[in-house]
Chain A
């Protein structure tokens, strides 16, 4: 790329993040500061912090990439990522805050009083956390490779090392201000270039996003293939390409179609129709996973403790919904304009890079274009750093307290290194998967394990520890198994592939059903203090003595 602004921008974001973290930690030294100062945070700040932690590489890079590749059907990703907060608001936010639980394992123990269930919940927190960390590191590797030409593993290792060191040394522990800053940085980094891009598109005479003859190259382009693919040339010929192949196209030449992407412009533009039952199943499965999965993500719940009471937790969640929704208006712009200005990404398969490359491709290499490209890169790094730090803190927290035993600071550091290294190894081996797809799988597992546990635990007196445990094992286990088969197993086709690639539509109802059935069968195990717990979860704090 040769954009001299990119590396300084990335370094600046990293330094600011680490710097604010350390400075904030020095301010909040005593334990009372740590416990009380966080409660003095207003819903708006807290919401920006939650949004900052939530908007990950998948949101920042992956959604636009998916839209570029698949079109309207994947708009359900951003809608679902935002709607997840509505599910959280309706069913979980206020009662969870009132429960006083800081993590999901805490909630299990408070509500059902079972150490065994706590251990099981811990295992799932770790699994979901790792599954969600992989695409963050993957996004980091991709960003570094795209912008600086470094090999893919370097970026992934670099971010993993920075985040692990930062969390282990205590630099970024629940500092609201850092995360809130990251939210506004990410919003700015997408919004400002988007305005310039739309103006440029106007100035170019508003070229059609989906010309009837398919996407074409606007300028003469040389494409270096990075993943093996089958291309369909305009004359109908098939051609196999391998990594390293160079293809040259003249300006105005149509872009060959790639197997796996939305082939025909109408497929991209219009939703799947009745004939496509698998497409419809996939869409509903995705909706279920994202609408219900957010409440089960480990790093999302930890932040609710910083609300002063249940009512504030609700208001905070509403503000998060608005902030996250505002952010998700933007990736669509990138995905659509990417069809015009960066069609070669469809060929290379690096569609996740569209957000990074579009400013340069559309606005040229003048100062404006280069500045905006650097801004986007900075935003992407903010996304990796904030989400992976939040996740790593949550995972390392449960590892040090529940696996290694009541931890010292040294224990926490050891846990952090352990928690950081496993996803790094995975990230180095799955570079071919779409960032958003892996994130979608993490949501599916969360929706099939913790969502039923939380919803039934909060609203149904009849839940027992045994019912909860079996439900989490069956629902989360089948979703997790589906994930492993999809990621590691042999390639499948037809219905089995569809059912495993988007499992939520069958694993979520299964988890609910099993949890209710087993709880009903073990009715005598209902905790004796269930009335007191319900009272605590649902009554306003003002009524407490």
Chain B
């Protein structure tokens, strides 16, 4: 019983937000990036812009590819009547093909976003060598 009580009193409650705040507040990490104020900031701005435009372009692909469908079905009802293996086209497109489509777009994004980051890392680390 005593051991159990000891253990109970030794338990502390950790709020993750506090941990994060503590870490970031105490150390004030000044990377080389942050120190080279102008150049560093321009580089970060470039990275953010590259990542955002990548995200927006792929979002546009989805917006046209999937978001265009209700409009297409509405203005061209004959498209909805086409059947594939006995199933109407809207059911095939929405019920089956939309999911692999989303995964492919996501996969492309992960690859391209990682490439952007790699380019950025190379750019930062080159002067050191």
Contact surface of A with B, Cβ cutoff 8 Å: 29, 31, 34-35, 72, 75-76, 78-79, 82-83, 85-87, 89-91, 94, 100-103, 106, 109-110, 269-274, 276, 280, 283-284, 287, 291, 305, 311, 314-315, 317-318, 321-322, 325-326, 328-329, 332, 401, 406-409, 459, 531-532, 534-535, 538-540, 542-545
Contacts and interface: CB of A to CB of B under 8 A. Distances in A.
B48 A459 contact: yes
22 contacts: A31-B12, A72-B91, A75-B94, A76-B94, A78-B95, A83-B98, A85-B106, A86-B106, A89-B110, A101-B17, A106-B20, A109-B17, A280-B74, A283-B70, A314-B113, A459-B52, A534-B48, A539-B117, A540-B120, A543-B31, A543-B33, A543-B121
Given A91-B59, A542-B121, 17 more contacts: A75-B90, A76-B70, A85-B106, A86-B102, A89-B106, A100-B24, A270-B77, A271-B73, A280-B71, A318-B110, A325-B99, A406-B15, A531-B44, A534-B45, A538-B51, A539-B44, A543-B124
B110 A82 contact: no
Nearest to B15: A401
Contacts of A91: 55, 59
B45 to A, nearest CB: 8
B31 A544 contact: yes
B14 interface: yes
B117 A540 contact: yes
Given A31-B12, A318-B106, A79 B17 contact: no
A538 B48 contact: yes
A305 B17 CA distance: 11
Contacts of B106: 85-86, 89, 317-318, 321
B31 A545 contact: yes
B44 A72 contact: no
Contacts of B99: 79, 82, 325-326, 328-329
Given A35-B14, A94-B113, A311-B117, A531 B41 contact: yes
A287 B113 contact: no
Contact of B44 (A100, A274, A534): A534
Interface string B76-109: 0100110000001011001110111011011101
Contacts of B75: 274
Interface of B: 11-17, 19-20, 23-24, 29-31, 33-34, 40-41, 44-45, 47-48, 51-52, 55, 58-59, 62, 66-67, 70-71, 73-75, 77, 80-81, 88, 90-91, 94-96, 98-100, 102-103, 105-107, 109-110, 113-114, 117, 120-121, 124
The 5 residue pairs across chains A and B that have the minimum distance between CB atoms: A325-B99, A271-B73, A75-B94, A90-B55, A102-B16
A401 B17 contact: yes
Contacts of B47: 538-539
Contacts of A545: 29-31
Nearest to A402: B17
Given A72-B91, A90-B58, A318 B107 contact: yes
A93 B62 CA distance: 18
Mostly, the A contact residues are: helix
Contacts of B102: 82-83, 85-86, 321, 325
B121 A273 contact: no
Contacts of A329: 95-96, 99
Contacts of B44: 531, 534-535, 538-539
A273 B74 contact: yes
A409 B107 CA distance: 42
Contact of B105 (A86, A271, A280, A542): A86
Contacts of A271: 70, 73-74, 80, 90
B17 to A, nearest CB: 5
Given A86-B106, A315-B110, A321-B103, A535 B95 contact: no
A87 B71 CA distance: 21
A545 to B, nearest CB: 5
B33 A305 contact: no
Contacts of A90: 55, 58-59, 109
A541 to B, nearest CB: 10
A542 B52 CA distance: 20
A101 B96 contact: no
Contact of B13 (A109, A291, A409): A409
A420 to B, nearest CB: 20
A72 B94 contact: yes
A73 to B, nearest CB: 8
Q: Give the most central of B48, B67, B106: most A CB within 10 Å.
A: B106
Nearest to B57: A90
A75 B66 CA distance: 12
A328 B96 CA distance: 9
Given A102-B17, A271-B73, A325 B100 contact: yes
B74 A272 contact: yes
A278 B77 CA distance: 17
A267 to B, nearest CB: 12
A271 B96 CA distance: 16
Contacts of B31: 535, 543-545
Contacts of A34: 14
B90 A270 contact: yes
